A and B are shown apart, each in its own frame.
Chain A
Amino acid sequence: MKSSKWFRRLVLVSTLAGAAAVTVSQSAAQENNKPVAAEPSSAAAQPAAQPEGDYVGSEVCVTCHADQEKSFVHTIMGNAMAHAKTPLEKLGCEACHGPGKAHVEAGGGKDSIPVRFTKDSNTPVEERNAACLSCHTKGNQMFWNGSPHESRAMACVDCHQVHYGSTAERYAALASSDSRYGAPLTEHVGTKLPQPELCLQCHQMRRAQLQRSSHMPYREGKVTCTSCHNPHGSPNPSQLLQSSINENCLSCHTERRGPFLWEHPPVMENCANCHEPHGSSNPQLLKVRMPRVCDSCHDASRHPTQPQPLGSIKNFNRGCTNCHSLIHGSNHPSGNFFLR
């Protein structure tokens, strides 16, 4: 834990990473000069490489699939592809569904479509996801490979819908002001359900916890699942956005970050030692109400060891924090008992 030690480690790793980046970047620059065909970047499962001649172009697809075009062209992806920047995007329908020559030559038929995403699709999940990951490699999706959802063979289209018609139709179908749960405003309308309903379909225990009397403003739509978690995978525990539980909590509750002169170690180590962030029946999202939450650890001399009668000041109102109100840390020179 010596700072010099970890700093040396950081410098070493950064240098190695930097060197690797430069090396790979140079080779990438060379690659850049080559003509680029459709290149799914996912290593997990790439669709079989196809010669360019197997692509027929979107114009051919829409001659039969006009409805699909209509349900796609005004979506976010539809708009992005209308202003394509990469060769892959320029492929239009075939960027996701694979080359269509065999399908055309077969005179149609589901089985001849290389990649299908519908419920009755026989395309393996990895191949379906690979089609998405061929573009969505950066940002939130960077850690999809190896993530819990990927490991459980979840398909992107289990949560996302690509052909959703137009933005207007989506508004009509998605969140309305009378939903059971509110959600923060978002520009993304491509999920099958709005949050948190989408996540709660599988995470049913969380649905129950969100109903508790002591809760963050989830139901009111001020925070939602992705305020803290990245469902596409993250290197952090519980797919958190930040590096630790505390960093996650402290990204909003910055005043409790410290450093403080007098610190309460379990607070600095893990907020979840005392609090249940998804909802609780106890005040302040506490796992156990006061004074027992404090008694769990404090078996020192004087008052913590007393069972405390019902009407004790250590029991009613704010319990122990009637007095020890600076329990998250104090910067007062006389605050070593977190009293001020």
Chain B
Amino acid sequence: MKTARTRSLSLMLILLIAPVTLFGQDQTPPVAGVVELGSRWSWGDVYGRPDLPFDPALKTSKYNEYRDLRDGFFVPRVRLSMDDIAGSKYFLDVQSNNAIYHDQSYLATFGAWNRFKVQFRYDEIPHTYTNTARTLYTQTARGVLTIPLLTRNTLQGLAASDPTLLPSTIQTQLVPSMNFIVPAIERRAGTFLFAYDLTPDWDLLASYSREHESGTRPLGLIFNSSPSASLTGGYGAEVPEPIDYFNNTVKIRAEYARKRWVMQFGYTGSFFQNATKSLVFDNPFLTADCVAPTGCTNATQGPATGQVDLYPDNQAHYLNFAGSFLLMKHLRLLVSINAGWLRQNDSFLNYTTNTILLAGAGPLPSGSLQGEKQTLAMNYKLIQTLGKKFAIKAGYRQYDYNNDTPVRGFTPVQGDISAADPTSPEENTPFGYNRKNIEVTGNWYYAKKSSVKVGYEGEIMDRSHRDVEHSTENGFVAAIDSAPRKDLSFRVSYRYSERNPEQYLDDQTLEINGGITADQIFSRRFDESTRTRNRGDAQIQYSPTDRLSFSGFGGTMQDNFNHRGGVNSATPLNFIAGTTYPYYLYGVLKDLSYNAGFDSDFTLTNAVTMFAEYSYERYYKAMTSRYRAPGGATPTPLDCGTPGRGCDSANNDWGSTSREFVHILAGGIDVHFNKKANLNTYYTLSAAKGHVDSRPFGDPTLLTGPDKFLLIGTNAAVDYPETVSRSHQAVAIFRYKLTKNLTSKVEYRYQQFDSKDYQTSAMTPYMGCVSPLPPGAPVPGCTSPLLGTPSPFYPYFLVGDTSAARYLFLGADQPSYRAHYLAATVEYHF
């Protein structure tokens, strides 16, 4: 295999370089290009998970997330260009990146200058998700994941007889025998393009591309309607989802241009095919379908297999018209109309795989969705210039997302454990919207590269099947660009907008379930609710000499949703009156971001150049919510202090903030020792820290009565641990010019990735075995050392959930790594 690869590569290189020898003596070489080849090695360690009983491989770690950095011979790039083949009007350009590896790219273009072009592009993109995954599943047929029956029998027996033994059995007997897998996908895409300049006015273009995406990726699935894969009910599994997608895309475009106008007509067809239509997966804890009370209990009922409908085949067709028309000497009209048709009609699966429930599930209302959507994007823009100093632009844009999918009634079987309810069918809600934007701006160009811009921006949004059917947004924008000197320019811009929904029709607030509304009253979704937005940006660029350039920037965007009245509450919703921080809705209150930074280049001497960059970002998002619980058989009157009553009290409101701080730093120096040698070194750091903090807003001393404070124990609003993502890279590249055309290069890179993420840094294939921190009592069957070594980053807790005692995970994580990379190559330019 390796020999064949080397042989084909050698042949390719000979073919590439041969023309050089033929034409290389000409004064103006008709053949030009570069070939770089050499050898590379990388080594290091994945050090973030000492708790694992194995060492995750560096080559499948995040280090190689989108790359294929295998050791040995490699060809980073090849390019060959022939401007006029044998003195003709024809040209050829062939390029490749990372040839022969799984992140390779090729581009070949042949054509006649000013006449036509034929192009072929091939590209591979790998994506590795994790290198710590283990699973019991194997794919025995397309879309069928199975677990050995013996294993399932063992787990089923324990789940039925003594579920408290499940954790220790899984930890000691199952996890060690699981298969290691590397969930990863790869995209392979080939595109053929033909462009033809029919006349100086007419251009035609046609292209066809086919992409195959294959591999596996983690997919979480449950055999129940809610995440109750607990010791007392429900099952779940995270599986390697088989990916086998094909994308076919056809594009045709014609353009016609004259002195005063240009028009373009086009068609794009996109066809998605999924070779794996559905995924059937064994229930690890059950070998036969069962619904309580026949043959099983509530705790042990469920289906023997689960089934998930993977993404269905779909197709989209777009017709496009675009034009630019000079209507009068200083008046231009830009038009773009793009109409789309989206279709999906894959056959429906059955309601359930549980054979006991299937018979009572009722017939499907149709065999397939017959899903239809039409999109229509229309843009019109008028640009009027008034002399050389002024320009006025008026634009109208409409995007209609029209969903014509038929509405039908379905009787879903929730979780494969309870029968469907044919008396209250669920209807699908074909969501659609129509967005209209209006923009009028005026520019005054008061000096060279200097202008003032002011304008109005408005949006009218109409939606179907959503809480807000109609909203308007009005805003203004102002910007100043100034270049007071040739070496200095700056820009300041500000934008303000205010969005107002006409009405917030949250119909779920009318549905009463267990004594409480299905949706929290005054719950407002941030993408459609009242909002004011302030955005300011500033930038400065200064180049006092040819040797120094400096630019700085800063900006903020501030979305405020916490407005009083309108569709929000007219009075504060806080339980405690007179609070200093009133809120008038549930959901996102504020979403703020800030950024600032600079970069600078400095040429110390003709042989030494340096650069430095720094940026800081800060994100802040605050939201509020209420812990509510539906009541039992007699849910009302609402009373948080009485078991079985519905609980819906502002005393159980809680808030959460998400904060993120990011520092990006880079600096480097490039030194030319003489005409032959060059050393380029730089260092980059990307460091991000995140915090998710939560706190109750109510009165924690109220421990009885209808407003009883419930945010304690497993319902407590707690702070989550800090997350850290830090990436260092130090690079040194030394080049030495051996001859006029031949350059040798040695490249060394050190990369270090530190990841501390409480959500994944402790992930194992089994997370149901978690005991509280000492001095809390351990969960039965879940005591050390079965838990293994705690995560080094979070030594004081172990992530996991006793309510996930019957959920098998993949244990997917992307641990920290240290990697050294050394490459030695020669570059031949011709």
Contacts and interface: CB of A to CB of B under 8 A. Distances in A.
B187 to A, nearest CB: 9
Contacts of B93: 187
Contact of A213 (B316, B432, B725): B725
B664 A13 contact: no
Contacts of A335: 309, 412
B260 A41 contact: yes
A220 B66 contact: yes
Nearest to A134: B259
B278 to A, nearest CB: 8
A126 B373 CA distance: 43
Nearest to B754: A213
Contact of A259 (B373, B721, B762): B373
Contact of B220 (A31, A142, A318): A318
Interface string A124-147: 111000000000011100110110
B274 A255 contact: yes
Interface string B78-101: 010101100001010101110000
A337 to B, nearest CB: 7
B448 A124 contact: yes
B473 interface: no
B289 interface: no
Contacts of B757: 283
Interface in B534-593: 539, 551, 553, 555, 586-588
A297 interface: yes
A145 B332 contact: yes
B352 A334 contact: yes
Nearest to A204: B553
Interface stretch (A21-29, A49-57, A99-107): A21-29
A281 to B, nearest CB: 4
Interface residues of B, number: 238
Contacts of A182: 97
A336 B428 CA distance: 8
Contact of B374 (A3, A153, A166, A295): A3
B34 A171 contact: yes
A295 B656 contact: yes
B348 A331 contact: yes
Nearest to B239: A325
A236 B692 CA distance: 35
Given A323-B226, A332-B309, A10 B369 contact: no
A163 interface: no
Contacts of B169: none
Interface string B415-440: 10000000000101111111000000
B371 A204 contact: no
A187 B505 CA distance: 53
A48 interface: no
A166 B330 CA distance: 39
Contact of B760 (A176, A299, A317): A317
A277 to B, nearest CB: 15
B215 interface: no
A330 interface: yes
Contacts of A273: 526-527
B595 interface: yes
A178 B413 CA distance: 55
Task: Give chain A's interface residue range (CB within 8 Å of chain B).
Answer: 35 or more
Contacts of B103: 220, 222
A330 B28 contact: no
Nearest to A126: B388
Q: In this complex, which of B324, B335, B400 has the most chain A Cβ atoms within 10 angstroms of its Cβ?
A: B324
A307 B222 contact: no
Given A137-B262, A138-B203, A325-B219, A283 B520 contact: no
Interface stretch (B8-16, B151-159, B495-503, B803-811): B803-811
A229 B430 CA distance: 30
Contacts of B672: none
B669 interface: no
A208 B76 contact: no
A239 to B, nearest CB: 12
Contacts of B798: 311
B699 interface: no
Contact of B113 (A73, A79, A313): A79
A212 B686 contact: yes
A80 interface: yes
A263 B431 contact: yes
A25 B314 CA distance: 38
Contact of B630 (A268, A301, A318): A301
Interface in B723-747: 723, 725, 727, 731, 733, 745, 747
B309 A330 contact: yes
A232 to B, nearest CB: 12
Interface string B787-830: 00000000001111101100101001000000000000101011
A235 B332 CA distance: 14
Contacts of A304: 625
Given A83-B114, A307-B654, A340-B308, A171 B829 contact: yes
Interface in A69-119: 73-74, 79-80, 82-86, 89
Nearest to A328: B311
B799 A205 contact: no
A322 interface: yes
A281 B814 CA distance: 13
Contacts of A176: 36, 77, 827
A95 B245 CA distance: 49
Contacts of B399: 243-244
Interface in A298-326: 299-307, 309-319, 321-323, 325-326
Given A268-B431, A310-B797, A336-B412, A208 B597 contact: yes
A248 B809 CA distance: 33
Interface stretch (B43-51, B140-148, B174-182, B338-346): B338-346
Nearest to A189: B81
A183 B539 CA distance: 26
A199 interface: no
B355 interface: no
Contacts of A314: 227
Contact of A309 (B34, B109, B343, B718): B718
Contacts of B434: 1
Contacts of A254: 245, 247, 270, 272, 314, 316
Nearest to B321: A17
A316 B800 contact: yes
Contact of A138 (B255, B274, B373): B255
B210 to A, nearest CB: 12
B311 A256 contact: yes
Interface in B319-368: 321-326, 329-330, 332, 334-340, 342-344, 346, 348-352, 364
Given A31-B258, A255-B314, A331-B344, 5 more contacts: A85-B197, A143-B336, A243-B377, A244-B375, A260-B371
30 contacts: A3-B404, A10-B376, A25-B256, A79-B84, A82-B113, A85-B114, A85-B200, A153-B448, A166-B28, A168-B32, A177-B825, A184-B123, A185-B97, A205-B617, A220-B66, A222-B66, A254-B314, A259-B369, A260-B344, A260-B369, A269-B463, A273-B527, A288-B658, A295-B623, A302-B630, A309-B718, A333-B412, A337-B225, A339-B415, A340-B306
Q: Which 4 A-B pairs have the closest CB atoms?
A: A259-B371, A168-B32, A243-B377, A177-B76
Interface of A: 1-3, 6-7, 9-10, 13-14, 17, 20-21, 24-25, 28, 31, 39, 41, 43-45, 73-74, 79-80, 82-86, 89, 124-126, 137-139, 142-143, 145-146, 151-153, 166-168, 171-172, 176-178, 180, 182, 184-187, 201-202, 204-205, 207-208, 211-213, 217, 220-222, 235-236, 243-244, 247, 251, 254-263, 265-266, 268-270, 273, 281-283, 287-290, 292, 295-297, 299-307, 309-319, 321-323, 325-326, 330-337, 339-340
